[in-house]
Amino acid sequence: PSASRVHMRGADEADTGPDTGARSSYRGVGRGDLEMVTLQHPSGASAIVYLWGATLTSYRTATGVENIFVSPGALFDGKKAIRGGVPVVFPQFGQPSRAMPQHGFARTSTWTIDSLSDSSEESRLVLSLSDSEATLALWPFPYRLEYVVTLSAVSLKMRLTITNT
């Protein structure tokens, strides 16, 4: 759903528009002009996920308590992984070769929004990442990742499904 506002609630985001008081999820632009999605539940709970690396950078409870740490030195430049938050690590931890980025390439790739929805029960974001010529050069196995982030009044759930294609 689109919104007439873009109001960032995470400590690492900048306000880029007026808050109309609506409580729906929306796409926006965060630090470093990187695209992000804010999930907002009617209870007041919220979560922020950047498309760069599918990195969750904020999860606030309905009472406004922040639960996610992002380093004050984190770069939002679209070149390096965001330092902190909840990254997606794929295809492995570490760096098995100099060609492979530390902890894989998923956290330094731009993910695609498959869906963004709100209901009275939950707000849900579905992102995906599929193999490309560049990733196949590093990891010669076709794949599709699906990352589902679901926010409710009392919880945040994240599910990563990896499919060999």
pLDDT higher than threshold 90 for residue 74: no
pLDDT higher than threshold 60 for residue 127: yes
Q: pLDDT per residue over 79-105, tens digit each?
A: 888 888 899 999 877 776 667 776 778
Mode of pairing for the β-strands spanning 46-50 and 112-118? unpaired
Q: Which residue has the higher pLDDT, 9 or 91?
A: 91
Across 105-118, b (16+ Cβ under 10 Å) vs e yields bbbbbebeeeebeb
The rounded distance, in Å, linking the Cα atoms of 71 and 11 is 11
Cβ neighbors of 98 (< 8 A, separation 6 or more) are: none
The rounded distance, in Å, linking the Cα atoms of 40 and 114 is 18
pTM of the model: 0.80
Q: Looking at domain 26-164, does it have CATH number 2.70.98.10?
A: yes
